[in-house]
Amino acid sequence: MIKQLTITTPGQGLHEFTDRLDALVREAGVREGLCTLFIQHTSASLLIQENADASAKRDLEQWLNRLVKENDPLYTHQNEGPDDMPGHIKSALTATQLSIPVTGGRLALGAWQGVYLWEHRHRGGARRIVVHLGE
User: Toward a copy of itself, which CB reaches closer, 28 or 64?
Assistant: 64
Q: Are 38 and 130 in contact (CB under 8 A)?
A: yes
Element holding 102 (H helix, E strand): strand 97-103
> Binders of a copy of itself among 88-107, rule CB under 8 A?
88-89, 91-101, 103
Look at residue 108 and give its three-state secondary structure.
Answer: coil
Instruction: Residue 83: count other Cβ atoms within 10 Å of its Cβ.
Output: 20
Look at residue 41 and give its three-state secondary structure.
Answer: coil
Query: Tell me, what amino acid is at 48?
Result: I
Count each helix (H run) and each strand (E run) in the chain, helices first: 3, 8
Binding of a copy of itself at residue 41 (CB under 8 A)? Answer: yes
Give min distance, CB of 117 to a copy of itself, in A. 13
Give min distance, CB of 107 to a copy of itself, in A. 10
- In the complex, the residues that contact a copy of itself under the rule CB under 8 A are 1-2, 32-34, 36, 38-42, 47-50, 53, 55-56, 58-60, 62-64, 66-68, 72, 74-77, 79, 85, 88-89, 91-101, 103, 108-113, 128, 130-132, 134-135
